[in-house]
A = this chain, B = another copy of it.
Amino acid sequence: MLNDIILPEPTLRRLPWYLAYVEILKSQKVEHVSSTQISRALNVDASQIAKDLSFLSLKGKTRIGYEVDALVSALSDFLGFRTPHKAYVFGAGSLGKALMQDSGLSNYGLNIVAGFDVDPSKIGTRVGDVPIYHIESLAEVMEKNPATIGILTVPVNKAQDTADTAIGEGIRAIWNFTPYRVKVAEGIVMSNTSIYAHLALIYNRLNADS
């Protein structure tokens, strides 16, 4: 059921909103939902919703709309949340450890199977269930328990080097939590979660407000 076409980023941003909303309806035992209803609840144009949902093989019925159960399943499958994806965390500092302990990520298909660091006091320990290795053991770990996604939580001055090393050993997607703008070759998937930019936005808006 996983899609193999490249979806536009705005669609990929909105589909999880729809999923969250229909999951609430499901928990309330609601059976059907129309794009007009989703539109009112989420403040997204109804025709946009119909267009986004048209990427799914699922069809809504005139007047009745979509079956809630089927829509939850179709969206979760389509977004890849029900397929396990193995990931490594690079950098077992406070954010890295936090992500390794966030069991919620596995509900969205992300299985963190190893962590890497250079601090001798961390090597050989575990964070939650996740074993921490020295970055020099990457090739070895990759052979035993390969992953496709590398989560980057190292200090900024190590971000580019670490990404290069990870990609060199076969990592195919970098999820970058550092504020450094890592460069990758074409064909490598890159996603930035800019925690610090979001903080800067909040501080700026709060300050401009007061």
Task: List residues of chain A with CB under 8 Å of any chain B CB.
Answer: 2-7, 9, 12-13, 15-17, 19-21, 23-24, 27, 42-43, 79-81, 83, 85, 93-95, 97-99, 101-105, 108-110, 148-149, 156-157, 159, 172-173, 175, 178-181, 183, 187, 189, 191, 193-209
Contact = CB atoms under 8 A, between A and B. Distances in A.
Contacts of A12: 197, 200-201, 204
Contacts of A187: 209
A97 to B, nearest CB: 7
A189 B155 CA distance: 29
A3 B94 contact: no
Contacts of A104: 93-95
Contacts of A180: 17, 20-21, 24
Number of copies: 2
B94 A199 contact: no
21 contacts: A4-B208, A5-B208, A6-B204, A12-B200, A15-B200, A16-B200, A19-B179, A20-B180, A43-B181, A80-B199, A81-B200, A85-B203, A95-B102, A98-B102, A108-B196, A108-B199, A109-B199, A149-B206, A189-B201, A189-B202, A189-B205
Contacts of A206: 85, 148-149, 172-173, 189
A94 B128 CA distance: 12
